[in-house]
Amino acid sequence: MSDILSILIWAIPVLFAITIHEAAHGWTASQLGDHTARMMGRLTLNPIKHIDPVGTLLVPALLYLSSSGFIFGWARPVPVNFNALRSPKRDMLWVALAGPGVNLLMAIGWLIVIAVANNTNIPFLVLMGGAGVFVNLLLAIFNLLPIPPLDGGRVVSSLLPKKLAYQYDQLEPYGLFILIGLLYFGVFKIVVWPIVLFILIWLSNLSGLNLVDLIIVNLLG
Residues acting as catalytic residues? 22
Please state, in angstroms and as integers, the Cα–Cα distance from residue 23 to each residue in 19, 59, 77, 132, following that order. 6, 20, 9, 18
Residue 207's SS3 state is helix
Cα–Cα dist 188/200, whole Å: 16
Residue 186's SS3 state is coil
Please state, in angstroms and as integers, the Cα–Cα distance from residue 179 to each residue in 20, 45, 198, following that order. 23, 28, 23
Cα–Cα dist 176/186, whole Å: 15
Side-chain half-sphere of 115: how many Cα atoms within 13 Å? Answer: 12
Please state, in angstroms and as integers, the Cα–Cα distance from residue 187 to each residue in 59, 87, 110, 133, 153, following that order. 19, 33, 26, 21, 16
For the chain, the distance separating the N- and C-terminal CA atoms, rounded to the nearest angstrom, is: 14
Residues 94 and 32 sit within 8 Å (Cβ to Cβ): yes
Residue 20 CB coordination number (10 Å): 20
- Residues 6 or more apart whose Cβ sits within 8 Å of residue 206: none
